[in-house]
A and B are shown apart, each in its own frame.
Chain A
Amino acid sequence: MAIQLPPNSTGSILDTRPENGRERQIVSVGDPLRTQPTRRPNSGRILYVNDFRSLNSSMWNDGVGSASRDTDIWFGGNPTLRLDPQGQSAGAVTNPGRTAATSGVVVKQRIHDGFRQKYGVEAWFRMTSTNLTSNTFFSMSIYNRDGAQAYHGRVWLDPNGNNQPMVARILDGTASAAASGGPGGSTAVYTPVLTSVSQNGAGTHTFYPASGRVDRAGGWHYVKMVVDFAALKYVSIQLDGEAVTDLSAYNMDVTTSTGFAGMHHSFELCATTTTRPRWVNLAHMVGTVED
């Protein structure tokens, strides 16, 4: 007879097996358990978790507005991160662009990497307030720079109206380069790659206390995107409970950039008008290496 106790939070396992007629204890230490909640329990080795349970995180907003810990809106027993452009407009943009609009929120985690591995980011998000189903652009990105160019993988999480199927549109590198005349132009082309099921805008389940809307549950979406920095191609995407979609046919977008040469895992929220509020909340962001 052998007895195995479940792993603890660090992955340690207490095991026993018979030896010379007696049960001997065996302790083995494995990889940490996958953090919860997630919809892809076996995807990637965790680099970091931002679950916003602490007063601060390693994320930072280098756009206008704010990205702050929100103790009104919780997920999985933890506070969340509220993205708020604070009424600033990014002008007449029609999509999240080839590079992030810093006239909106650009909240990010940075990790250095030399274009050698596949990386993933997963998170839960909620369309919290009113005013998010038009004139607003919310996206998630994984990008890196080498001192001369930037290499972007970005998915535009488009609610596509209220109570409509949400559409995941990726920044299409080949199509954007063709439309822009190369890496120097600014015309971004987003290609729809995945559609979720209905009920994807906030619907009536919004949070905006000044108007009396205090739905703290909302409806949470899940997204995970993986990109390959060695091949400079997308790998896959998942949205909510839909099947993982293969994106290996798509190139990451290449733009001229002398900006900070480091890898960024980021979320962007911008708007074309100054209407308020426009709040999107993030929860349980996890960065992974997928090789």
Chain B
Amino acid sequence: MTIKMQFPLTTLPTANEQAGVSPLTVTASGNSREYPELGSFDSGIFFLDVTAVSGTTPSLAVFFQGYSPISEKWHDIITFTPQTAVTSTVIAPVTASLPYQTYRTRWTVTGTTPSFTFSLGVIVSASESTA
């Protein structure tokens, strides 16, 4: 059978997921906590949505990254088109394979006093024997 699971991908490293952690409001560049939970899955479909924007010429770039446990460096897997306004039409979901073991979300924010409220989520899937 195919196992599918859903994850919000904007949990901050200091956040507790017992409290609501998505959507996330950011005013500066940063990254999420790490997600080794995705490491057992084969692929995912990713959904980006922007629900609030303020500032002068604000821009939000969102990246989904995989981790090299040997070099301890992060590699971009998905680069979303930079967002400058509230999502008016659905941003096309992005599918990606998940060959790494650990992942995270990174975002960069530019502009004058920029603020973005956004969510990035994923539905991951893998086949598993039920025997």
Residue positions of A touching B, CB distance < 8 A: 54-56, 61-66, 68-72, 79, 82, 84, 86-88, 102-103, 209-210
Stretch at the interface among B29-37, B86-94, B109-117: B29-37
**Chain A residues whose CB sits within 8 angstroms of the CB of B81 once the complex forms:** none
Lowest 3 A-B CB distances belong to which pairs?
Answer: A68-B36, A62-B18, A68-B37
Please give me the residue from chain A that is nearest to B35 by CB atom: A66
Interface string of B77-116 (1 = CB under 8 A from A): 0000000000000000000000001000000000000000
A residues near B69, Cβ cutoff 8 Å: 209-210
> Interface SS of chain B: helix, strand, loop or mixed?
loop
Tally of A-B residue pairs with Cβ under 8 A?
Answer: 55
Given the known inter-chain contacts A62-B16, A102-B16, please indicate yes or no for A69 contacting B40, CB distance below 8 A. yes
- In the complex, the chain A residue whose C-beta lies closest to that of B125 is A55
B interface residues, how many (CB within 8 angstroms): 23
Min C-beta distance of B95 to chain A, whole Å: 19
B3 touches A55 (CB 8 A): yes
A209-B70, A210-B70 known; A55 vs B14 contact (CB < 8 Å)? no
Which of A62, A69, A86 touches B39 (beta carbons < 8 Å)? Answer: A69
- Assembly CA distance A82 to B33 (angstroms): 15
Smallest CB-CB separation from B19: which chain A residue? A62
- Cα of A86 to Cα of B102 in the assembled complex, Å: 12
What are the residues of chain B within 8 A of A82 when measuring CB–CB? 36
The verdict on A56 contacting B13 (CB below 8 Å), with A69-B39, A84-B36, A210-B71 known, is no
Q: Shortest distance in angstroms between B73's beta carbon and chain A's nearest beta carbon?
A: 10
